[in-house]
């Protein structure tokens, strides 16, 4: 799939996130890259996305401002685990929700429970 089409799906998914999430997300960019840095060949477990930044639970008004937090979605890995566009949309949604969960301060165990 072309990057533009993938990015359009990402935008559509972001627009469908629950209002309670969207209103609390501040200064977070969502980026798309082909693969994680250093990934070559076919790893056993594909990294679909990652959150870079400081979770809200660790931010303080005393912190020096930094650039925006951001989520990176790895397009080729997401496409590798999906067989059609409906699955792709659902996987993008799940990956974004997972990574935004990290932004809200949730760890992997808490995210598995959700």
Q: What is the pTM of this model?
A: 0.86
| Under 8 Å between Cβ of 69 and 52 | yes
Encode the chain (114 residues) as per-residue pLDDT tens digits.
999 999 999 999 999 988 888 888 888 999 999 999 888 767 678 899 999 988 877 777 677 767 789 999 999 999 999 999 999 999 999 999 999 998 888 888 887 876
Would you state the pLDDT for residue 21? 82
| H-assigned helices in the chain | 3-15, 19-22, 75-80, 85-103, 108-113
Sheet hosting strand 49-52, strand order edge to edge: 28-33, 69-74, 49-52
Q: 3-113 in CATH: which number?
A: 3.30.2010.20
Would you state the pLDDT for residue 61? 67
Would you state the pLDDT for residue 29? 92
């Amino acid at each position: 799939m072309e990057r533009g089409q993938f990015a359009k799906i990402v935008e559509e998914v972001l627009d469908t996130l629950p209002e309670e999430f969207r209103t609390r997300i501040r200064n977070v960019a969502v980026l798309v890259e082909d693969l994680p840095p250093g990934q070559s060949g076919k790893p056993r477990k594909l990294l679909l996305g990652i959150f870079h930044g400081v979770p809200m639970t660790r931010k303080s008004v005393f912190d020096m401002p930094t650039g925006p937090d951001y989520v990176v979605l790895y397009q080729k890995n997401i496409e590798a685990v999906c067989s059609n566009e409906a699955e792709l949309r659902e996987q993008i949604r799940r990956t974004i929700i997972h990574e935004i969960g990290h932004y809200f301060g949730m760890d992997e165990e808490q995210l598995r429970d959700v």
